[in-house]
Amino acid sequence: MTSTNGHSQTLETDQPGAAQRHGGKVMRFHLKIWRQANPQSAGRMVDYEIDNVPTAASFLEMLDILNERLVARGEDPIEHDSDCREGICGTCSLTINGIPHGGQRGSATCQLHMRTFRDGDTIYVEPWRARPFPVIKDLVIDRAAFDRIIQAGGFITARTGSAPEANALPVPKVAADLAMDAAACIGCGACVAACKNSSAMLFTAAKIAHLNYLPQGQAEKDTRVLNMVRQMDKEGFGGCTNQYECSAVCPKEIDAAFIAKMNREYALASLKDITTGLGSAVD
Amino acid sequence: MTISPDALDGKTPSGSLDRKWDDYKKDVKLINPANKRKFTVLVVGTGLAGASAAASLAEMGYQVKAFCFHDSPRRAHSIAAQGGINAAKNYQNDGDSVERLFYDTIKGGDFRSREANVYRLAQCSVNIIDQCVAQGVPFAREYGGLLANRSFGGAQVSRTFYARGQTGQQLLLGAYQALERQIALGAVKMFPYTEMLDLVLVGGHAKGIVVRDLVNGKISSHAGDTVLLCTGGYGNAYYLSTNAKGCNVTATYRAYKHGAYFANPCYTQIHPTCIPVEGDFQSKLTLMSESLRNDGRVWVPKRKEDCGKPPGQISESDRDYYLERKYPSFGNLAPRDISSRAAKEACDDGRGVGPTGLGVYLDFADSIQRLGEKTIAERYGNLFEMYERITGENAYRQPMRIFPAVHYTMGGLWVDYNLMSNLPGLHVLGEANFSDHGANRLGASALMQGLADGYFVIPYTIGAYLAGQANKKAAPDAPEFKEAERVVAERTKHLLSIKGKRTVTSFHRELGLLMWDKCGMARNRAGLQELLQKIPALREEFWHNVNVTGESTCLNKALEAGGRVADFLEFTELMVRDALHREESCGGHFREEYQTEDGEALRNDAEFAYVAAWEYKNGAANHGPSEPVLHKEPLNYEHVHLATRSYK
């Protein structure tokens, strides 16, 4: 069925009527997909030919079709992550033809449709490539490092029940809007995958900006930036060298300017850390 | 059908409606701070209800273990809620109050929910907004810096708080961040990539769960003093829905099989404005905001022959603007259930549009002519863009095609006022329980309920149970755990051993089509009875002919799906039985036999003003339940008067 030397077999539709039911518009693709049994084993690109793919199918639906045909032939399906399939949960990943989420501006892989490809295209599908995101199987990667960055300071300490009346603290609309711009991050990790340094600075900066723009976030402003940046480094993510590929592939088009804000706040907080002993609150 | 003679007791406190919750809080047993850390709470699911409960209980001092099948608690499907969250703040000075939010919710639920729960929900709503703002949820603001509101879901007041079109995301991230903070402090132990596959009862109390590690396949059990199921709804029983791919009924269904009553499973909400199904490859449906109906006109061709023509070639006189025709006063803004059913009728009549014939037009041509394309783009630009991305069609040039889709499930495990099921120690929160939305949920109410349950209800009511449990710990090596692990391991092995000819998805899709067809927007006796033949047959085939590939000792999504679909194949039968027994139409449950002359839902308060709570009975046959026993909780309305909903 599959091979690595180009002699791959076509995975045809099991039901010949399928093409008609999709209005007759179907496509054919040469797929080169990363397969890896587990984190320890070496992975490899495997060739698949797929035909009768409806133009209206999404990229993930194309993979569903491929998997159904693989199972029908007794092969293991290709593992990949997805959940909401409407671009908000951040579960889907996939580097498609070298670009995380496939290069359609402001959208996740689940929002990419096959009609944006040409019939007969060769498509390369790989997992996010970054050391802090180890491959679990095939195209599924482990993004727990992001959760640990949030644990380091990506919150406002507000015990349930202790909150003051919501309108007691006005938030200027400009600040609220900027906070929302940053908070739109879906935590998918495309920013890391796009970066040659595997930097998580866009992800980290977006959370810091969300919380530090708000008056509620001021009390923990300095410890937040210090702890989150240190955790980011500890996880093995690289630094930013200002190429902004992170922002270019971000499904929510998070602005790379937040990274500059983070760097500024980090510098100031570090200074305070040295001069005032802020360090007692810093890990 | 066996009906239990005893009325089910919802344990609603006595006293006047507006005092019940305050009096309850005054009287409920408290746990000494030093003793809280001796109790372990198992929280399954980390969406709005689960994450808010886990974080709050950990802050109070309980030992919490939280479980989710995603790679991170931030992925739960609460994240996809767009519109907003209701709260009776009355910031707009437009006459809102706890009383009004309560009444709107009771009426919206078509008088099939428990009064005291709904009143408490309305009371808690105001605290939710305070809590979320303190956490940094970036709600929309006025220029003066105060919170903005909009009206939503037919309410006559502006009580909906929102964060652009991503309210669910922002609320979930708030709860997730609070949860992550507790994880960092060591107060919560988080188990991502971990799926609950069974509930463990010790001495009749819920004292543990069996889980499968989805990465390495290891099956293990966790003992605790109480179990909280916060595992969402069962909309994916229909295969295609607006739910995420992973949403499933497994946790609640396994609890049901251990004796927890399942309440009102036939109450499902079908949302009228979704992007239609394109073909049999389709994996999920996408909601388009209902706000589009403010400026769009819904129509289908008058004649079947015109359905294949491009819409622009169908003249004005050949179009049937059926909502405007049938409901002249509400027109295109007719409520969700009415609009959904009307679309179905048009398509059943053979006048549906699009490649599958299951679609109706939502036409903006008149509005564009009246207001200009720029104004329409300002109002709905992002939605038009989303529509174009999915369908490849430009809705400024040709009408959108829309069709109803399954969106939310009001039914769920039965709980009393304490959010505890009839099984002692088993608490159920959020969409997974049945309690607050009756037969139909109003817009912007789901987020409110999930967070009310997690932040403000369970922290109090959990004490009522745990206070009596200090010396009743289940030993983690109790035989009940080993036995439950054995059963789960065997089932997993069995699924992998069948090696038949059909994929898991093909069964799920077939089941979904059956359900959508006969137990969807409109139901009738004959169709439901037909399902009671077809579902068991399909289930039988599944256990002989499914092909679950791969192994149990590594990541295997086909295996995960196999177990979930196996549960749907049993659970749907319960939905059908409930729909068959409820011989009335109310909210999301429309029985064709019970309608007024002009096609409106005909409720039967004399006979059906109760919660239908079903008790599982094991069947003799292989892999099948037998007829469940019906327990009724009478709905006694002390405060509101039952009235007919009218939209004419």
Q: Does residue A11 have a pLDDT over 90?
A: no
For B301, what's the count of Cα atoms within 13 Å in the CB-facing half-sphere? Answer: 20
Predicted pLDDT at A4: 38
Indicate whether B436 and B539 sit together in one domain: no
Rounded average pLDDT over A18-45: 83
Residues 109-128 (A) with a CB less than 8 A from some CB of B: 111, 113, 115
Q: Name the closest residue on chain B to residue A115, using Cα atoms.
A: B392
Among A136, A164, A192, give the residue marking a domain's end. A136
CB-nearest to B131 from A55, A64, A163 is A163
User: What CATH number should be reported for the domain holding residue A237?
Assistant: 1.10.1060.10
Residue A14 neighbours by CB distance under 10 Å: 14
Cβ–Cβ gap B459/A160 under 8 Å = yes
Q: Does residue A72 have a pLDDT over 70?
A: yes
Indicate whether B364 and B432 sit together in one domain: no
Q: Is A12 helix (H, G, I), strand (E, B) or coil?
A: coil
Residues from chain A contacting residue B189 (CB–CB below 8 Å): none
Residue B327 is assigned to a structural domain of this protein: yes
CB-nearest to B130 from A21, A151, A165 is A165
Residues from chain A contacting residue B456 (CB–CB below 8 Å): 160-161
Residues 361-420 (B) with a CB less than 8 A from some CB of A: 389-392
Residues from chain A contacting residue B506 (CB–CB below 8 Å): 68
Indicate whether A199 and A257 sit together in one domain: yes
Rounded average pLDDT over A55-67: 97
CB-nearest to B554 from A38, A64, A173 is A38
Predicted pLDDT at B621: 55
Q: Are B139 and B163 in contact (CB under 8 A)?
A: yes
Q: What is the DSSP letter of B477?
A: T
Indicate whether B290 and B420 sit together in one domain: no
Indicate whether A99 and A15 sit together in one domain: yes
The residues of B annotated as belonging to the active site are 336
Walking along chain B (648 residues) 10 residues at a time, the average pLDDT comes out as: 94 96 95 95 98 98 98 97 92 96 93 97 98 97 94 78 92 98 98 98 97 97 98 98 98 97 97 90 89 89 95 96 88 82 91 93 96 88 87 94 96 98 98 95 92 98 95 89 96 96 97 96 96 97 96 96 98 98 96 90 96 90 80 94 76
Chain B interface, mutation test: which of A58, A140, A160, A204, most B Cβ atoms within 10 Å?
A160
Cβ–Cβ gap B547/A146 under 8 Å = no
Rounded average pLDDT over A188-195: 98
Indicate whether B430 and B345 sit together in one domain: no
Strands B426-428 and B226-229: parallel
Cβ–Cβ gap A161/B459 under 8 Å = yes
Chain B interface, mutation test: which of A65, A75, A83, most B Cβ atoms within 10 Å?
A83
Number of domains in chain B: 3
Residue A5 is assigned to a structural domain of this protein: no
Q: Name the closest residue on chain B to residue A167, using Cα atoms.
A: B146
User: What CATH number should be reported for the domain holding residue A32?
Assistant: 3.10.20.30
Residues 128-157 (B) with a CB less than 8 A from some CB of A: 129-136, 138-147
Predicted pLDDT at B288: 87
The residue segments making up the domain with residue B44 are 2-267+410-466
Predicted pLDDT at A187: 98
What's phi and psi for B191, nearest 5 deg?
A: -120, 85
Indicate whether A85 and A191 sit together in one domain: no
Where do we find the tokens 């949920």? B441
Beta-carbon contacts of B108 under 8 Å, excluding residues fewer than 6 positions away, are: B153, B154, B437, B438, B440, B441, B442, B445
**Measured between alpha carbons, how far is B590 from B25 in angstroms, rounded to an integer?**
38
B459 in contact with A at a CB cutoff of 8 Å? yes
Strands B205-213 and B219-223: antiparallel
Indicate whether B263 and B278 sit together in one domain: no
Number of domains in chain A: 2
Q: Is B551 exposed, middle or buried (0-12, 13-18, 19+ CB in 10 A)?
A: exposed
Among A86, A111, A136, give the residue marking a domain's end. A136
Q: Does residue A122 have a pLDDT over 90?
A: yes
Confidence of residue A5 (pLDDT cuts 50, 70, 90): very low
User: What CATH number should be reported for the domain holding residue B555?
Assistant: 1.20.58.100
Chain A interface, mutation test: which of B72, B77, B565, most A Cβ atoms within 10 Å?
B72
Indicate whether A102 and A193 sit together in one domain: no
Rounded average pLDDT over A92-102: 98
Task: Tell me how close the Cα of A228 comes to any Cα of chain B, in angstroms.
Answer: 12
Query: A221-234 vs A201-212: helix axis angle to the nearest 10?
Result: 170
Predicted pLDDT at A6: 38
Task: Tell me how close the Cα of B147 comes to any Cα of chain A, in angstroms.
Answer: 7
**Measured between alpha carbons, how far is B394 from A105 in angstroms, rounded to an integer?**
18
Q: Name the closest residue on chain A to residue B547, using Cα atoms.
A: A71
Task: Tell me how close the Cα of B628 comes to any Cα of chain A, in angstroms.
Answer: 33
Q: Does residue A33 have a pLDDT over 90?
A: yes
Chain mean pLDDT for chain A:
91
The residue segments making up the domain with residue A107 are 10-136
Among A75, A101, A136, give the residue marking a domain's end. A136
b or e along A1-10 (b: 16 or more beta carbons within 10 Å of the residue's beta carbon)? ebeeeeebee
A26 in contact with B at a CB cutoff of 8 Å? no
Residues from chain A contacting residue B132 (CB–CB below 8 Å): 166
**Measured between alpha carbons, how far is B336 from B437 in angstroms, rounded to an integer?**
15
Strands A122-126 and A26-35: parallel
Residue A20 is assigned to a structural domain of this protein: yes
Indicate whether B280 and B210 sit together in one domain: no
Predicted pLDDT at B254: 97
Rounded average pLDDT over A206-232: 97
A192 in contact with B at a CB cutoff of 8 Å? no
E strands, B34-90, where? 40-44, 63-67, 85-86
Q: Sign (positive/negative) of CA torsion B524, B526, B527, B530?
A: positive
Query: A257-276 vs A221-234: helix axis angle to the nearest 10?
Result: 110
Indicate whether A102 and A148 sit together in one domain: no
Residues 155-174 (A) with a CB less than 8 A from some CB of B: 155-167, 169-173
Predicted pLDDT at B648: 65
**Measured between alpha carbons, how far is B558 from B280 in angstroms, rounded to an integer?**
19
